[in-house]
Structure 1
């Protein structure tokens, strides 16, 4: 089998972990370190990813975009000129936590270059991610299963994989937001210990889930702001429940900078819950 060359844009914790998996399976993994932080550059090199120019990325077999949701569309626009010029074009897979509306915009950018576009969604931790793919070219991404990724093909159009990601994250990260918000409110009003005791007694599974997820949230809160905004857009302004996720975005924006609140949440669920 021909060795795959896979360009991976984004060397955060998820991107570097996936780069390591692909490299371990024998694929050549390229990335761009231009403008990246020293920490991201170090993660990429440790994962065996090669720094490359945009022309080399565009000529790969696949491009996986795994970046913060707020820059997903910008990332496609940045690579589009190189895709336009490439004689052999990569299959571009957007793997970001964005709404179907946003992914449709990205697809139009990629389609204009003549490259094939696949809608992707990642569910799971960096150590065990699952990739869901949809759209008319999704079957072309099946080969990534031989390159070490857990691949699931959806029988749906562009937007289906993103809709799945939005729905799943809306439940899991939305529940983390609700648990954080109500725990902070209970603590502010002298009912924190009573709330945790009642959850442990009447909702033990929920109490255990919150104890396992809320304390791990603060370092990720800044990244979840745009994701909550994308989920609100996914639901749509015609449906009042989109405001739930606008509120969650505001909460995560606050918690990204409110160390006193996140420290209180950590103590609440570890010292009392433990």
Structure 2
């Protein structure tokens, strides 16, 4: 039975911790400075909060935090690893650009930390559903322990940056579509073309209509987390690629939707009303 640390006990981190615990792993977490609600969520998922030293002494250490926190977690793990007398296997599972992932690896250079590039495709694990954990730079197959305890792991040939590139590409398409649909529908609402747009989408491209009708409302509570992710995707494409500007724009869209959720939710209400319009009405 493996001991696995999950740093981060948000919706994804706690669900991953629960799946690993259900699969027989001992699951630790380090939550210094986090809220009581976060501590309660971690404990309910079968995760045991502990000290940083014990946490990084586990067989595997997973980082599942918002993109903006990824480098800080790596720095903390690298510094604490110098206190241990054994190697630390650290898997960064965050939605970060390959360049940021390489910074994570560089941060850990010269320490006992072995860095594995990871990315999660899909939502939090739940009964009957499993996201996929893609990994690269795992020459020793350390991540087999994740498979052994209930996670779906897929290996990618390539080094640091390969798994992160997959995440950036996939999220750019899927979350980018949600952001684009949100922006265009809000534009149509402002100009009185909203119901006509919705009916045309439903008639002409029903698959897109179905997808946006689910993904846009689902986005509201996640929008604040997607802001940094969109900026990471822009970084992934690079300043010489004009498409990077699209994702700077998407960051702005999600920033606006996050502020709307924290405020009076006027935009969300307008979108919900529009998404409820049925074809032919």
Q: Could you report, residue by residue, the CA deviation over 1:30-55 in whole angstroms, capped at 9, with x for unpaired residues?
A: 00121112222111010010011110
Asked if the contact 2:86/2:112 (under 8 Å) is kept, the reply is no
CA distance in structure 2 between the partners assigned to 1:250 and 1:191 by the alignment: 23
Aligned residues: 271
**Cα deviations across residues 133-161 of structure 1 (Å, max 9, x unaligned)?**
00154622122101111000001111000
Structure 1 distance, partners of 2:272, 2:31, is 34
**Which residue of structure 2 aligns with residue 6 of structure 1?**
4
> Does 1:63 pair with 2:76?
no
Structure 2: segments with no counterpart, 5+ residues: none
1:1-274 matches, cutoff 5 A: 3-127=1-125, 128-137=130-139, 139-258=141-260, 259-269=265-275, 271-273=276-278
* More deviation, 226-235/108-117: 108-117
Relative to 1, partners in 2 of residues 1:125 and 1:138: Cα closer, same or farther, differing over 3 Å? farther
| More divergent stretch after superposition (208-217 vs 127-136) | 127-136
**Higher mean displacement: 132-141 or 57-66:** 132-141
Q: CA deviation at 1:99?
A: 0.2
1:120 and 1:133 in contact (8 A); partners too = yes
List alignment gaps of at least 5 residues for structure 1.
none
* 2-structure distance, mates of 1:79, 1:273: 52
Query: Post-superposition shift, 1:116?
Result: 1.1
- The Cα of 1:80 is off from its aligned counterpart by 1.6
Contact 1:118 1:138 in 2 (8 A): no
Cα deviations by residue, 1:239-259 (Å, 9 ceiling, x for unpaired): 111000000001111110122
Distance in 1 (CA, whole Å) between partners of 2:118 and 2:43 is 25
CA spacing shift, 1:225–1:261, aligned 2, 3 Å = same
Describe the superposition over 1:21-77 as per-residue Cα deviations: whole angstroms up to 9, x where unpaired. Answer: 100111100001211122221110100100111100121100000000001000111
Q: Is the 8 A contact 1:59 1:87 kept in 2?
A: no
The structure-2 alpha-carbon separation of the partners of 1:60 and 1:238, relative to structure 1 and needing over 3 Å to count, comes to: same
For 1:266 and 1:273, locate their aligned partners in 2 and report how far apart those are by CA, in whole Å: 12
Answer whether contact 1:58 1:79 (CA < 8 A) is retained.
yes
- The 3 A distance-change label for structure 1 pair 243 and 146 is same
Kept in 1: contact 2:2–2:145 (CA 8 A): no
1:102-149, CA deviations, whole angstroms, 9 ceiling, x for partnerless residues? 000001112321221100000011022110000154622122101111
Partners of 1:194 and 1:223 in 2: how far apart?
Answer: 31
**Which consecutive segments of 4 or more residues in structure 1 shift more than 3 A?**
none
Name the TM-score, length of structure 2 as normaliser.
0.94
TM-score (norm 1): 0.96
